[in-house]
Amino acid sequence: MSFLVAVCGGSCSGKSTLAARILRLLGPATASLLAFDSYYLDQRTLTPLERAEVNYDHPSSLDVELFSNHLGRLAAGKPIDCPVYDFATHTRLDETRRIDPAPVVVVDGILLLADDRLVPRFDMRIYRQCPEEVRLDRRIERDVMYRGRTEDSVRKQFATTVKPMHDQFVAPSSQYADVVFQHEDIEVHDAAVIVVDRIRRELNWPAPTTGR
């Protein structure tokens, strides 16, 4: 059985960095990482123009059925073949990525707590709060550098879908979090230490020993 930890928050809120830090503190033998972003629906049947018009910040853009199935498999100690999504073309690649079960599975995603079917799946739910202007600056940098986007297209998407969907779905979902970390109040590393300590207590693991 795997202990599933949801790490969520708005786009570019620092949730992926937090999830990666939690994974690092736990160690690869103890934890694995799964990203909800990998489960966007394949848009290959649409034209490039139609793909650009899809609201990728709405829950309907994600393959929740497959994702929920994979969460169940990991929780039961079974491996999964995770989809690989190409954000530049909005399509799934033919290849998949094998993710093996681990004592702890850290799951990273914007809309993890916005779907009633997913909330009960998680044993621990973490929300990373971050100001809108910080998230926009980070998203511009990320999407231009790594996802083949232009700054104008990123700004347009943020105004037309990212912000409205954040206000409608993401921000309200913080009510289901066990812990909410404010961006301005705590560094990522310190937040990760708190989460790992909570995980250890939940699983009745002994505290790590430190040498002198």
Query: What are the mean pLDDT values of the chain's consecutive 10-residue runs (212 residues total)?
Result: 96 94 96 97 96 92 98 96 94 96 97 96 97 95 89 93 96 97 92 97 83 49
Q: Would 158 be classed as within a structural domain?
A: yes
Which pLDDT belongs to residue 65? 97
Report yes or no: 126 and 18 within 8 Å, Cβ to Cβ: yes
Q: Would 65 be classed as within a structural domain?
A: yes
Q: Would 68 be classed as within a structural domain?
A: yes
Which pLDDT belongs to residue 210? 58
Environment class of residue 208 by beta-carbon count within 10 Å: exposed (0-12), middle (13-18) or buried (19+)?
A: exposed
pTM of the predicted structure, to 2 decimals? 0.91
Which pLDDT belongs to residue 148? 82
Which pLDDT belongs to residue 206? 87
140, amino acid identity: I
Looking at the 3D structure of the chain, how many domains does it have? 1
Q: Would 178 be classed as within a structural domain?
A: yes
Range of the domain at 53: 3-202
Q: Would 174 be classed as within a structural domain?
A: yes
Report yes or no: 72 and 82 within 8 Å, Cβ to Cβ: no
Which pLDDT belongs to residue 209? 64
Q: Would 212 be classed as within a structural domain?
A: no
Q: Would 208 be classed as within a structural domain?
A: no
Q: Would 209 be classed as within a structural domain?
A: no
Q: Give me the CATH number covering residue 191.
A: 3.40.50.300
Q: Which residues of 111-131 are buried (b: 16+ CB within 10 A; e: fewer)?
A: bbbbbeebeebbbbbbbbbbe
Of 120, 147, 124, 190, nearest to 11 by C-alpha is 147
